[in-house]
Structure 1
Amino acid sequence: NGSGQKGAKKVASLLCAYGANCKIVTLKPTLGDKTDVNAYFMKYERKDFIECVKNAQEFTLNDIEKHNIK
């Protein structure tokens, strides 16, 4: 959902500011609009999560300015 994505971007920007490399992982929707992480791991296998990580959005310090994150 929108608030979860906004929160993920804020945390990623903070981590990037301290030198961490970040990716934002989007899980396959399983339960309508919101994805419950516990339910996700009951329905999908480890290989599915690894595929999500491979396709994850890279997040850099430039994204802080691009998304106007404070």
Structure 2
Amino acid sequence: MDSSLLEVWQAAASTPFNPAVGKDSQFFIAFLLLLIGVGITGVFALNRSITNILALGIPASATIA
């Protein structure tokens, strides 16, 4: 597993980074995720029942993981 820095640099140059979210839509995606987070926080704050925790908390934690 001995690679020189030059070999690593050349390998990285041949495969450029392609982000999952394009540069033009980053603000929209971030704002949408922020609104979803605030909305889910409001749902939990208003109605903290065990069914809400199961219905919203488990999918939310699975999404983060």
Higher helix share: 2
TM-score, structure 2 normalization: 0.29
Q: Which has more strand, going by share of residues?
A: 1
TM-score w.r.t. length of structure 1 = 0.27
Q: Looking at both structures, which has the greater relative contact order when contacts are Cα pairs under 8 Å and sequence separation is at least 6?
A: 1
